[in-house]
Amino acid sequence: MIRVITVFILIMSQQLSAKHQKMNLQKALDLKLVKAEAKSLGGYQGFCVKMNLKNLTSDSLTVIVEAGRRLNSLDDKNQDILVTQQEIIAMKKLEDRSFNVKGYCCQANNHSPFAGAKYDVNKLADSNLVDLARFLSSSKFETNIEQQAIWAVSDKKPSANIASTNDSLLLPLKQLVANLKGEKLPWYSMITKTILYAGGDMKTYPLYLRGKLNYSNDKEDYVSLYVFDEKGLPVCEIKSQWLMPCVNKDYNLNIPVKGLVKGKYTIELKTPEKQLAKQEFEI
């Protein structure tokens, strides 16, 4: 009996302490001040999850749904969703609130969830994904760019896939991702396209490689641009042309790579006598 009374007093003290409070969802869940549920709206990016919060206290409560919360799919075939936009939800006593949550797939090899798929909300992602989600919450990029940034961290996809027609605007995001992964900033960008198939499977295809090769040439010469695979075998000859003598000049690349299989490649700018520039890239 004493134990029952003690538990009752503890619950009441927690509820009374919630008066007009503002706290993170994690704390509210840990203190059992709210009940939370989440269901997919269908799809794997953007405002793709509906969350419901119920205030279990006898007074108002403001809950902050944190950027960096990982919504774990109850069906192991479906993708987990990383919340990338903070939401502040004000609730009256015992109020139910439903709202849409912005997030992205953080399991690229799983299925895109169908509408109604259920999620567990009581978990934050690992520190790298939390840092990335917080950055995205305070920034604004195109949907595909944000998705590629998350996959670069969650699924170790190439960081070069974070790409657009104006890469200079993406430099802070690309630098953050490279730092989180402990790697150098990629010298190139890979324009990709992700296709969602009817059954929920997804695949990302490379389309174009963009970047610059820095070279010097002491005489006017005929040069060719080649791509070699990991075995050193030529995949294709991209372009041949005459180049004038120069020092530290950039050779602009916009190379179609659709159809190349996953792996590491080397791109070389060569004259018949020597190599002018060489870089590696990955698909």
pLDDT given at position 181: 97
Instruction: Using pLDDT thresholds of 50, 70 and 90, give the confidence band for residue 164.
Output: confident
For residues 8-31, one letter each, b for 16 or more C-beta atoms within 10 angstroms of the residue's C-beta and e for the rest, the string is: eeeeeeebeebeebebebbebbeb
Does residue 162 lie in a domain region? no
pLDDT given at position 19: 58
Does residue 251 lie in a domain region? yes
Q: Which of 78, 109, 141 is the last residue of a domain?
A: 141
Does residue 114 lie in a domain region? yes
Number of structural domains found in the chain: 2
pLDDT given at position 106: 97
If you average pLDDT over residues 120-125, what whole number do you get?
Answer: 92
Same domain flag for 35 and 137 = yes
Q: Which of 126, 141, 156 is the last residue of a domain?
A: 141
Q: Which domain holds residue 271?
A: 213-282
Q: Which of 141, 161, 195 is the last residue of a domain?
A: 141
Summarize pLDDT for 203-238 with one digit per residue, the tens.
Answer: 999 999 999 999 999 999 999 999 999 999 888 767
Does residue 47 lie in a domain region? yes
CATH number of the CATH domain containing 227 = 2.60.40
- Those residues whose C-beta lies under 8 Å from the C-beta of residue 162, and which sit 6 or more positions away, are 145, 148, 149, 152, 170, 173, 174, 177, 189
Mean pLDDT across the chain, nearest whole number?
A: 91
Summarize pLDDT for 9-66 with one digit per residue, the tens.
Answer: 444 555 444 456 899 999 999 999 999 999 999 999 999 999 999 999 999 999 999 9
Does residue 259 lie in a domain region? yes
Does residue 192 lie in a domain region? no
pLDDT given at position 239: 77
Share of the chain above pLDDT 90, in %: 80
- Is the C-alpha dihedral spanning 271, 275, 276, 281 positive or negative? positive
Does residue 89 lie in a domain region? yes
Helix (H, G, I), strand (E, B) or coil at 177: helix
pLDDT given at position 165: 77
Distance CA 190, CA 100 (A): 31
Instruction: Using pLDDT thresholds of 50, 70 and 90, give the confidence band for residue 8.
Output: very low
pLDDT given at position 87: 97
Does residue 180 lie in a domain region? no
Same domain flag for 28 and 118 = yes
The pTM (predicted TM-score) of the whole model is 0.86
Helices (H), the chain: 2-16, 25-30, 127-137, 143-154, 171-181
